[in-house]
Amino acid sequence: MTRKLYAEAFGTFWLVFGGCGSAVFAAAFPQLGIGFTGVSIAFGLTVLTMAYAVGPISGGHFNPAVSTGLAMAGRFPWSDVISYIVAQLVGAIAAAAALYVILSGKAGFTSIGGFASNGFGAASPGGFSMASAFLAEAILTAFFLLIILGSTAKRAAPGFAPIAIGLGLTLIHLISIPITNTSVNPARSTSQALFAGGVPLGQLWLFWLAPIVGAIVGAVIYNALLAETAEEIREQSRDSKKAA
């Protein structure tokens, strides 16, 4: 379990450092900014690379909503969910701290600004409402779970799951950066809000609630409508218990 928790912490660190780092440092860099597309690709690449690097150790969740959704689907023990979430938060907050130190070394630094935090209303890049933000985050997280569950099922082609999951996260960001700056990951939202403070911290509840609700809905839909048989669900559940 110790190795699994280290893997989750390092994987989540890389997700926040790479994804949020690209948003903070490179998205609007003068003349050579990577924009929304570049940030979306960066988030997808962080998950893809860490899923291959440490996924075989921990399963490569890097996200409290994913851990919750996998437990709901019977793919992960409920008894390990809290430990995984703590490790993910540690990794995310450590990455945000590193980003803050780097950013504060910039010439003329005065404020971290939004710090790639998530938000709705005035804090939304496109000015989208709380209801819009909640619906987008819930739907996108539900489909993220469908991608994860489907690409890691025993009948899926082996070895390609990290690619599908990484590209799925890229697509999610391409859709929703203008809406909420894209969360679908409570650990990523928490780390940035803690440093940004103010409005992002006050709105953080939505970026825990919506992704977790979406993940649970995605897990229920997959098991009810897409899993090949009830025996497949039981077999996956047995495998996850053995791995634990």
The tens digit of pLDDT for each residue in 52-78 reads 999 999 999 999 999 999 999 999 999
Q: What rounded mean pLDDT belongs to the chain? A: 94
Is residue 223 one of the residues assigned to a domain?
yes
pLDDT for residue 138 is more than 80: yes
Residue 144 lies in a domain: yes
In a domain, 110, yes or no: no
In a domain, 109, yes or no: no
Flag whether 111 is in a domain: no
For residue 87, the domain's CATH number is 1.20.1080.10
From residue 8, alpha-carbon distances to 25, 122, 169, 199, 243 in Å are 25, 33, 17, 28, 15
Domain count for the chain: 1
For residue 125, count CB atoms less than 10 angstroms from its CB and return exposed for 0-12, middle for 13-18, buried for 19 or more. Answer: middle
70 part of a folded domain: yes
Q: How many Å apart are CA 127 and CA 179, to the nearest integer? A: 7
- 184-208 pLDDT per residue, tens: 999 999 999 999 999 999 999 999 9
**Mean pLDDT value of segment 105-128:** 95
Q: Which residue has the tokens 């619906």?
A: 135
Entry pTM: 0.92
Domain enclosing residue 146, as ranges: 2-104+116-243
Higher-scoring residue by pLDDT: 29, 91: 91
Q: φ and ψ at 115, to 5 degrees?
A: 55, 40
Spatial distance between the Cα atoms of 31 and 244, rounded to a whole number of angstroms: 49
Give the rounded percent of residues in the chain with a pLDDT score beyond 70: 93
